[in-house]
């Protein structure tokens, strides 16, 4: 699954820009409507939606507070043809701020499209269930039709981020994770791992500190606990320790949510955990290798 996702991501990017020794040129492009400047604020590799064997992609203009209706389009990676233009007469606030793609949650074998709507005090939506706590809306990648919603359950900011995951509860259906609250939110953000078959809560893990950036990064690992089930890591790059802010990467069992030993930065403002990349067992010692990414000032 991960390998497939990674390949999809690489191929979807390649569908937009081709590089050779001399030049780069666009294979195709789409613009937002005149006067709307946020189209393309979110773009994701979507897997093969139209069954032509080539990965496709999704571009989104989220519904922000007071803005026009959200725009969500799926394009053929091969030639840019519009596969789906999802229709939203009105959506909950923030719809499309988070998107997940690349896994099948409807059982038809075609990857689906998950749209987060974390906005609290969301207005009643026309044709969509809504919650003041936010929600995740699942659209069929095959038909472009609304399939179902998973609404927040008493926790503000449900759906700030969405990450599609491999199957972690061993029911044969891919699962997904949802960020509740955000990296800049007061209170403790959390991540809920949900069953992709019925949206039931499987595990939940919380930030250690408010405003610690928990959820700015998330990565699935093949399996570092040895139970054969994929695991995951969360970054909190503004984590405080010993009076400084070195950042942290925390590791969790995908099956149980049990926490494993973290990686904590050494120096103030190391921002360890700003991004996480699984390298697999790159050094051959049968353990997953983790390499924190620490940005440095540009010259
Ligand atoms: Ca395709
Ligand atoms: Ca599907
Ligand atoms: Ca599952
Ligand atoms: Ca595991």
Structure tokens at 146: 């609304």
Instruction: Give the distance (Å) from ligand 2 centre to CA of residue 17.
Output: 27
Give residue 20's pLDDT: 52
- pLDDT averaged per 10 residues, the chain (length 299): 37 40 78 75 94 96 70 95 85 81 97 88 62 89 94 85 97 97 84 97 96 94 90 95 95 94 92 85 60 49
Q: What is the pLDDT of residue 11?
A: 32
- Residue 96's pLDDT is 84
Listed residues: CB within 5 A of ion ligand 1: 48, 50, 52, 54, 56
Burial 127-147 (b: 16+ CB within 10 A, else e): ebebbbbbbbbbbbbbebebb
- Residue 104 CA, ligand 2 centroid: distance in Å: 4
The Å distance, Cα 59 to ligand 1 centre, comes to 15
- Supply the pLDDT for residue 283: 66
What pLDDT score was predicted for residue 68?
64
Ligand 3 is a single-atom ion; what residues have CB below 5 A from it? 167, 169, 171, 173, 175
Buried-state track 186-224, b at ≥16 Cβ within 10 A, e below 16: eeebbbbbbbbbebeebbebebebebbbbbbbbbbbbbb
């Amino acid at each position: 699954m991960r390998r497939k996702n990674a390949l999809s991501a690489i191929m979807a990017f390649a569908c937009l820009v081709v590089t050779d020794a001399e030049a780069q040129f666009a294979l195709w492009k789409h613009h937002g409507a005149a006067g709307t400047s946020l189209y393309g604020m979110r773009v994701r590799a979507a897997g093969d939606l139209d069954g032509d064997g080539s990965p496709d992609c999704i571009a989104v203009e989220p519904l922000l507070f007071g803005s026009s209706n959200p725009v969500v389009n799926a394009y053929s990676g091969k030639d840019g043809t519009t596969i789906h233009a999802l229709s939203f007469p009105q959506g909950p606030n923030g719809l499309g701020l988070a998107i997940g793609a690349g896994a099948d949650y409807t059982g038809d074998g075609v990857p689906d499209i998950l749209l987060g709507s974390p906005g609290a005090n969301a207005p009643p939506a026309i044709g969509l269930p809504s919650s003041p706590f936010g929600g995740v809306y699942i659209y069929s990648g095959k038909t472009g039709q609304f399939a179902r919603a998973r609404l927040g359950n008493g926790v503000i900011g449900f759906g700030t981020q969405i990450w599609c995951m491999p199957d972690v509860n061993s029911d044969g259906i891919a699962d997904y994770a949802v960020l509740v609250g955000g990296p800049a939110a007061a209170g403790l953000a959390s991540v809920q791992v949900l069953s992709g078959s019925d949206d039931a809560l499987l595990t939940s893990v919380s930030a250690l500190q408010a405003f610690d950036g928990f959820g700015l990064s998330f990565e699935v690992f093949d399996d570092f606990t040895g139970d054969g089930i994929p695991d995951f890591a969360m970054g909190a790059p503004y984590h405080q320790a010993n009076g400084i802010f070195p950042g942290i990467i925390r590791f969790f069992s995908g099956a149980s949510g049990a926490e494993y030993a973290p990686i904590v930065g050494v120096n103030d403002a190391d921002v360890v955990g700003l991004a996480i990349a699984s390298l697999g067992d790159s050094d051959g010692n049968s353990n997953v290798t983790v390499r924190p990414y620490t940005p440095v000032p540009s010259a």
